[in-house]
A and B are shown apart, each in its own frame.
Chain A
Amino acid sequence: MSLTCRTFFHGRPMTFPRLPTIILTDLLLLYGVTLMYSQDEVAFALLLLVLATFGSWLLISKKHDNLRLAFPCLTLIATFTILPLIYTTNIAFTNYSADHRLSYERARAELLTQSWHPDGEHYKFKLFREGPGLRLMLIDNTSSEEHLLTGPIIVRDDTNAQQTVPASISIHRPVGAELPPDDINKNSTVLANLVILLPDGTELSMINPNSFATKARLYQADEDRPYPDPSLALTDKRTGEILDADMAAGYFTRKHSTEPVAPGFITYIGWDNFRRIFTEPTIHNPLLKNCVWSVTFAAISVALTLTIGLLLAVLLQWPPLRGNNIYRCLLILPYAIPVFVAALMFRGLFGQNSGEINPLFGSESLWFTNALLAKIMVIMVNTWLGYPYIMILCTGLLTDIADDLYEASALDGASPLQNLMYITIPIIIKPLAPALIASFAFNFNNLLLIAMLTDGAPHIPDSPVGATDVVAGFAYQTAFVSQDYGLAAAVAALTFLLMSAVAQAYLLATKRLQ
């Protein structure tokens, strides 16, 4: 049997070193998990660990052949489709925003790198050429012969890179030529990013265009309290004050003061973002407008595309109309043009200044300033974009209807309208229902069309959004213009709930087909 199989398939049976490969991959993945965990990315470490464990178990186990086959695809979908959704919901419960961009650990590390110049010695300096680079001579206030001479300083293209050079005490002048003040200005970014390490270990950095001074860390970690105790404090070395992490507010604050010390960090704030949506009128007024508009827009779009698409499909099915295929090709054209090209095209045609369509309607560019007209325009354009899809679907469904139904109705003297209302629509509406629900859901979140066509215009005063923005647009503007990611994620999470209801309807509609 196995011999016939080999000759039949012209190949050797698979001799794949399975176990060594699994072990090697797992070791690599475990290294990644450790790396992530050490960087405090616990969520990612856990996810990778679960996926790796589950995958290895599937591959090694003698059973579960079928699930093993599906595993890579399921992992792909879980990682790139489902994970972002879950992660967004997670952000909805945090204060992630412009002032709170970093994790607690990063914010703390950032504070620990901040430095200041305590009162101490100031050094005037002279700049010398040293081959392709530079060299500094630092002179302190005492009048002794001795001065400090730095090692060579490299001038890179990337002048913003920080550079540390050692310095030593010397009585000789450097060999290179001394450079005039102009060159000091030219190299100011190099000098500003320079840290000079003195023999006794202190660090110097530039404090003004003519001098360097001792540089010290501004904050000191309290070594006695073990990391990562959230009460772990920092000491401000200027004043000796203690800084505590306020885990509820997402800021480090000084004792006896509520004034936050930037940068803030990301922290969980419970349902606060959702509470804000429902209590702050500046948020829920525009959001409610956008929500009503999204539903209206999606519903009218579906209704219009269905009407036009169905009528055209019926017309195309009618044998006496010659040239059906040419009509069909031309009618499909709007669907084939990418939405971003078509929507931008209409933006130009309706023109903010004086588009090509305006002379036809006699209205002077009100399309983008009057909310009602803007909405009508968006719906018209979306109908233009969407009717071919419904038309194609209906054409497919109409071919399934038996001709003798129409024969019978013709014998009874039915009009075309009666045929449509009493034969065609009742038969195709059921198989069409899932597509219509999907189309509704798609248009509800049709950010692409709005972004390309109106950009939300006209603008709603005192809000980040416009009258034609859909809910997804509200989330987009809140996150990437107002930089309030937490609030935007909360809006998205509420949309998930709404979409779950639509998805339920969709599942029901598909089930009814079977």
Chain B
Amino acid sequence: MAMVQPGNLQRRVWAARVAMWLFLLITLSPLVVLVLASLESGNTVTGSLIPRHFSLGHWYLALGIPWTEADGSITPPPFPLLTWLWNSIKVAIISSAVIVMFTTIGAYACARRRFHGQRVLLAIMIILPMFPPVLALTGIHSLFDQLGHYLAWLGVDSLWSLTLAHLGGAILPFWLLKGYLTTIDSAPEEAAIIAGATTWQVLRYILLPSFAPILMTAFTLAFIASMTEFPVASVLLHSTDKLTLPVGLRHYLRPEHFLWQDFAAAAILCGLPITVVFLIGQRWLVSGQNVFRVRD
């Protein structure tokens, strides 16, 4: 608390509070509208915020269960939402696991060891996020198109191809881990090396125990990036049962086929887990995006 306080403090506090409440009202109201819309029956935009005809139908459909209306008619789920969610999770888990394995060792090497060309390599890695995969879509599509001539399961319209393509998201986890490593004390590792430990032993017995939380964070970062990735997935995947969540969810809101309430339930169902994971990891994630500040 500052020692010197202006006289009109109370008025200022209240002004700040009101401003904050107003801002939060505007910012968070879309989310409230979305929740309410998912509980309204039917699929037309009503224009009223409070549901007039309360119904859990859209939630049933989002979970893949056919919904029986009051008049006996049965509505089947419009899209295989849970399949899409599962596809996204599969791709994200495998690609993130591989990314974390590779970047852990790479980050260790770049943070603790010196080798020829290291400065140039790190400079390249700093600017690489400026060239996102969205600019290389033609290249990615063509590469997998050609691979598919030889290995059908690595061609276009395969989840394995997408998993491989998502390995391109290794840069941010790399910087997160390297940034973390440069901030922690290297004395225990050096002691172990002097005692004759191999690199593997240092990684396994000295680093890994204290490293687990940051590894989980790196995994979360890569996982969320893969779960929410759209351009590459939309280029590589075509068949309905192979889509990932971001590509599939778009089909709910096409101008000619506008399923607003169905979308609301689906979006909450799939968006909520990602949001929760993000909120848990955000403290670390943010410091991870800040890593450029703590470079040595």
A is bound by B? yes
B228 at the interface (CB under 8 A from A): yes
Listed residue (B2, B12, B121, B136) with the most chain A CB atoms within 10 angstroms of its CB = B136
Q: Is the CB of A321 within 8 A of B13?
A: yes
Q: Is the CB of A351 within 8 A of B45?
A: yes
- Bound CA span A502–B19, Å: 36
Q: Is the CB of A84 within 8 A of B282?
A: no
Interface segment, B52-60, B68-76, B181-189, B199-207? Answer: B199-207
Closest to A409 in B: B4
B-chain residues with CB within 8 Å of residue A384 when the two chains form the complex = 27, 30
B20 at the interface (CB under 8 A from A): yes
Interface string of B129-169 (1 = CB under 8 A from A): 11111111111111100100110000000000000110110
Given A91-B142, A445-B132, verify A507-B123 contact (CB < 8 Å): yes
Q: In angstroms, how far is the closest chain A Cβ from the Cβ of B86?
A: 17
Interface segment, A66-74, A140-148, A181-189, A200-208? Answer: A66-74
A348 at the interface (CB under 8 A from B): yes
Q: Is the CB of B286 within 8 A of A396?
A: yes
A386 at the interface (CB under 8 A from B): no
Q: Is the CB of B45 within 8 A of A73?
A: no
Closest to A327 in B: B20
Interface string of A71-101 (1 = CB under 8 A from B): 0111011011111111111110000100000
Given A5-B197, A66-B115, A495-B135, verify A341-B290 contact (CB < 8 Å): no
Closest to A8 in B: B195
- Bound CA span A187–B263, Å: 43
- Bound CA span A123–B125, Å: 68
Listed residue (A76, A384, A416, A502) with the most chain B CB atoms within 10 angstroms of its CB = A76
B252 at the interface (CB under 8 A from A): yes
Q: Is the CB of A441 within 8 A of B130?
A: yes
Majority SS at the chain B contact face:
helix
Q: Interface size (B, Cβ < 8 Å)?
A: 112
For chain B, residues 100 to 133, give those with C-beta under 8 angstroms from any C-beta of chain A: 102-103, 105-110, 113-117, 121, 123, 125-133
For chain A, residues 326 to 340, give those with C-beta under 8 angstroms from any C-beta of chain B: 327, 329-340
Q: Is the CB of B1 within 8 A of A319?
A: yes
Closest to B275 in A: A336
Closest to B121 in A: A74
A315 at the interface (CB under 8 A from B): yes
Given A76-B167, A91-B138, verify A338-B150 contact (CB < 8 Å): no
B-chain residues with CB within 8 Å of residue A1 when the two chains form the complex = 195-196
A-chain residues with CB within 8 Å of residue B195 when the two chains form the complex = 1, 4-5, 8
Question: Residue A84 contacts which of B129, B136, B205 (CB distance < 8 angstroms)?
Answer: B136
Q: Is the CB of A352 within 8 A of B134?
A: no
- Bound CA span A41–B109, Å: 33
B3 at the interface (CB under 8 A from A): yes
Q: Is the CB of B196 within 8 A of A5?
A: yes
* Interface range, A side: 35 or more
Interface segment, A161-169, A296-304, A354-362? Answer: A354-362
Q: In angstroms, how far is the closest chain B Cβ from the Cβ of A498?
A: 10
Given A489-B138, A513-B293, verify A77-B125 contact (CB < 8 Å): yes
- Bound CA span A435–B289, Å: 9
B-chain residues with CB within 8 Å of residue A11 when the two chains form the complex = 201, 205
- Bound CA span A157–B108, Å: 53
Question: Residue B146 contacts which of A41, A349, A416, A476 (CB distance < 8 angstroms)?
Answer: A41
Question: Residue A451 contacts which of B6, B250, B287 (CB distance < 8 angstroms)?
Answer: B250
Closest to A10 in B: B205
Q: Is the CB of A510 within 8 A of B227?
A: no
Closest to B168 in A: A80
Given A77-B170, A319-B2, A336-B275, verify A349-B30 contact (CB < 8 Å): yes
Q: Is the CB of A352 within 8 A of B258?
A: yes
Q: Is the CB of B249 within 8 A of A344?
A: yes
A274 at the interface (CB under 8 A from B): no
- Bound CA span A441–B230, Å: 18
Q: Is the CB of A84 within 8 A of B140?
A: yes
Q: Is the CB of B102 within 8 A of A445?
A: no
- Bound CA span A347–B142, Å: 31
Interface string of A478-503 (1 = CB under 8 A from B): 01100001001100100110011011
Q: Is the CB of A336 within 8 A of B164?
A: no
A-chain residues with CB within 8 Å of residue B121 when the two chains form the complex = 70, 74
B24 at the interface (CB under 8 A from A): yes
B240 at the interface (CB under 8 A from A): no
A417 at the interface (CB under 8 A from B): no
Q: Is the CB of A340 within 8 A of B249?
A: yes
A172 at the interface (CB under 8 A from B): no
New A-B contacts (18) at CB < 8 Å, excluding given A5-B195, A96-B142: A72-B106, A73-B106, A73-B174, A76-B106, A77-B125, A77-B174, A80-B170, A89-B139, A330-B28, A335-B282, A336-B282, A351-B45, A384-B30, A393-B286, A489-B139, A499-B135, A500-B130, A507-B123
Give 5 closest A-B pairs by Cβ, nearest first: A73-B106, A88-B139, A66-B113, A70-B109, A87-B139
Which residues of A approach B to under 8 Å, CB–CB?
1-2, 4-5, 8-9, 11, 13-14, 35, 39, 41, 44, 64-67, 69-70, 72-74, 76-77, 79-91, 96, 106, 312, 315, 318-321, 327, 329-341, 344-349, 351-356, 359, 384, 389, 392-393, 396, 403, 406-407, 410-411, 416, 431, 434-435, 438, 441-442, 445, 447-448, 451-452, 472, 475-476, 479-480, 485, 488-489, 492, 495-496, 499-500, 502-503, 506-507, 510, 513-514
Which residues of B approach A to under 8 Å, CB–CB?
1-6, 9, 12-13, 16-17, 19-20, 23-24, 27-28, 30-31, 33-34, 37, 45, 47, 49, 98-99, 102-103, 105-110, 113-117, 121, 123, 125-143, 146, 149-150, 164-165, 167-168, 170-171, 174, 195-201, 205, 224, 227-228, 230-231, 234-235, 245-246, 249-250, 252-253, 255, 258, 260, 263-264, 267, 270-271, 274-275, 278-279, 282, 286-287, 289-290, 292-293, 295
